[in-house]
A and B are shown apart, each in its own frame.
Chain A
Amino acid sequence: MQDRAITAEKLTKKFGDFTAVDQISFEVSKGEIFGFLGANGAGKTTAMRMFCGLSLPTSGVATVGGFDVYSENEKIKNSIGYMSQRFSLYDDLSVIENIRFYAGIYGMSSKAIRVKAEHILKGLELEAEKNMLVGSLPLGWKQKLAFSVAIFHEPRIVFLDEPTGGVDPITRREFWQLIYEAAGEGITVFVTTHYMDEAEYCNRVSIMVDGRIEALDTPTGMKKHMGVGSMNEVFLQLARKATRTEN
């Protein structure tokens, strides 16, 4: 159990008659980069919200960082980081103010923030832009900054909800570089994405269709099993079975 960052067993979420997440079971190891794939409306976001403590499961069992999602919500919140598809930085705050704010809500001391911020900004080559408003930075920079902010308080697990929407392939590569660095430091990465080339970067991926997990394997294993050459084809074959559309 100790080397499991996330576990789910028959985890289910219902909204009235609608079953958004239907008895999903899987485990994510510590330090793993776990890709959580699925078409729009497949139930990815709902599942992720349950792990983040934003929503309570209807039934089933789940733990995050060894803590129960029903009863140890507060402990989970202290051990995870979260980055949404909208990057969640404030445009009217400067780079350093954004860092200070987000680190501050995790209760980090001013001194620890200062030391760490210097280190991070150096790594991102954003030292000169420290006092610039985030709104004036290019999208790719914002996104990398948002990721650094999400793992600034050194969480054990970071949840990324479609973090690379709308940016160019080069920036996406650089972004994944950061993800690898974080995983190297022992942070478990749980990422949802639409880009199948990104799925190839993950250690393991699961593909959700209509609220259920249809496939769960390493990208190589999955391609082999389905007898196709790319993750894109794997996804299309599975997603074609979907009967429900978004909303």
Chain B
Amino acid sequence: MKQFYNFVIKEFIHIMRDRRTLFILIGMPVVQILIFGFALTNEVKNSGFAVIDLSHDERSAQLIDELDASRYFEIRGKFQSVESLEQSFRKGQVKIGIVIPSNFGKDMERPGGASLQFIADASDPNVANTLINYANAVVLDFENNINGEKKIPYTIQTETRMLYNPQLKGAYNFVPGVMAMVLLLVCTMMTALTVVREKELGTLEVMLVSPLKPLKIIIAKAVPYLLLSMLNIASILLLSVFVLDVPINGSLTLLVGEGILFILVALSLGLLISSSTASQQSAMFISLIGMFLPTVMLSGFMFPIENMPLPMQVVSNAVPAKWFYIIVRSVMIKGVGLKHVWKETLILSGMLIFFMAMAIKKFKVRLA
């Protein structure tokens, strides 16, 4: 036990002496949460829009006012021709244009109804889509208001409720994502690097010659990063709750427990990488390309898995972060208990056993 304790102390000294890395490890989740929270948001607010109003009547003025009043849009100009609207698009002043044809107000009274044209800047298709959806919603609202005045029979009124995230906040989505990313980076990459570094130094050999058991070496190497990751979970959760107003609806104990499970999966992956590589560079490369990219791309955090081609959907099942992401979202946002995430938990546990067994086997093969 004293040997083990002695070893863990040494690992802590390594981490503490390397101030810059330590600073990055502790600061990274904070910075990521803040960047995702305040800068990189996929919510669209106060986008510039322009109008070509060929109707100039009471109704068209009313519609324009309603668009301008919504928190998604802000009027930036009124034009007479599509050419001048396009000028404005080119300069990047507006993202969406609305063409109101002449006789708009009168057409509304007729059986065929009136028509509108939206022109969006689709150089960023996601934003364009979102804006069109918002604009449609505003128009629908406008229509309902007028119909309300007049009583038209047989209309279907849809009422939408966004469960668990009524304000459609992006933070609900990226907090679980950032958590998976940071833990993977700290645990997998740093563990892989720390073992490979000893290999490069030749110190691992000295330890294998010593009476120290290989399993103890592995565990001692992982302990400091386990603690560091716990610190990261804590800072991410505190920031989400107190700065970004993302609630923890489910059980905190369950959330932390699942966090530890994921950390262990990431640690065993790191150990597996370290026992299959010979240099810090290749360990770093494999961690980044093999772990980090799939986590960002295939965990469902940036891109919805449902929209991927089938082969990609199948591949995504092998990404541990996907399951952790589902678990965190369910527990933290939906507030469900273990009863609803046992399948994902079981999958992560299976991965943990598999990677651990592989890592230990590889480590032993090296000794023969």
Contact of B166 with A by CB under 8 A:
no
Whether B211 and A82, one on each chain, are in contact in the complex, defined by CB atoms closer than 8 angstroms, is no
**A75-133 at interface with B (beta carbon < 8 Å):** 77-78, 80, 82-90, 92-93, 97, 100-102, 104-107
Whether A105 and B208, one on each chain, are in contact in the complex, defined by CB atoms closer than 8 angstroms, is no
Residue of B3, B18, B210 near A77 (CB, 8 A) is B210
Whether A107 and B202, one on each chain, are in contact in the complex, defined by CB atoms closer than 8 angstroms, is no
Whether A56 and B368, one on each chain, are in contact in the complex, defined by CB atoms closer than 8 angstroms, is yes
**B203-250 at interface with A (beta carbon < 8 Å):** 203, 205-212
> Which residues on A sit within 8 Å (CB–CB) of B17?
92-93
Whether B14 and A53, one on each chain, are in contact in the complex, defined by CB atoms closer than 8 angstroms, is no
Whether A54 and B209, one on each chain, are in contact in the complex, defined by CB atoms closer than 8 angstroms, is yes
Whether A52 and B6, one on each chain, are in contact in the complex, defined by CB atoms closer than 8 angstroms, is no
Instruction: Report Cα–Cα, A100/B2, bound state, in Å.
Output: 12
Q: A104-B6, A107-B211 are in contact. Are A90 and B203 (CB under 8 A)?
A: yes
Instruction: Report Cα–Cα, A53/B368, bound state, in Å.
Output: 9
Whether A104 and B368, one on each chain, are in contact in the complex, defined by CB atoms closer than 8 angstroms, is no
Residue of B2, B14, B18, B203 near A88 (CB, 8 A) is B203
- Interface size band for A: 20 to 34
Secondary structure at the B interface, as helix, strand, loop or mixed, is helix
Residue of B7, B18, B202 near A85 (CB, 8 A) is B202
Whether A90 and B14, one on each chain, are in contact in the complex, defined by CB atoms closer than 8 angstroms, is yes
Whether A97 and B211, one on each chain, are in contact in the complex, defined by CB atoms closer than 8 angstroms, is no
> Which residues on B sit within 8 Å (CB–CB) of A87?
202
Q: A92-B14, A105-B207, A107-B211 are in contact. Are A86 and B202 (CB under 8 A)?
A: yes
Whether B6 and A105, one on each chain, are in contact in the complex, defined by CB atoms closer than 8 angstroms, is yes
Contact with B along A151-184 (1 / 0, CB 8 A): 0000000010000000000000000000000000
Whether B2 and A107, one on each chain, are in contact in the complex, defined by CB atoms closer than 8 angstroms, is yes
Whether A105 and B209, one on each chain, are in contact in the complex, defined by CB atoms closer than 8 angstroms, is no
- The number of chain B residues with a CB under 8 A from chain A is 22
Of A87, A97, A105, A107, chain B has the most CB atoms within 10 Å of the CB of: A105
Instruction: Report Cα–Cα, A89/B205, bound state, in Å.
Output: 12
Residue of B6, B201, B367 near A101 (CB, 8 A) is B6
Whether A92 and B203, one on each chain, are in contact in the complex, defined by CB atoms closer than 8 angstroms, is no
Nearest-neighbor residue (CB-CB) of A51 within chain B = B209
Closest chain B CB from A149 CB (angstroms): 9
Contact of B315 with A by CB under 8 A:
no
Contact with B along A2-28 (1 / 0, CB 8 A): 000000000000000000000000000
Contact of A237 with B by CB under 8 A:
no
Contact of B56 with A by CB under 8 A:
no
Whether B211 and A77, one on each chain, are in contact in the complex, defined by CB atoms closer than 8 angstroms, is yes
**A30-83 at interface with B (beta carbon < 8 Å):** 52-56, 74, 77-78, 80, 82-83
Q: List 11 A-B contacts (CB under 8 A).
A: A52-B209, A54-B208, A55-B368, A84-B202, A88-B201, A88-B205, A93-B13, A102-B206, A104-B7, A107-B211, A150-B206
Shortest 5 CB-CB distances between A and B: which pairs? A104-B6, A86-B202, A82-B209, A88-B206, A92-B17
Q: Contact residues of A with B, CB < 8 Å?
A: 52-56, 74, 77-78, 80, 82-90, 92-93, 97, 100-102, 104-107, 150, 159
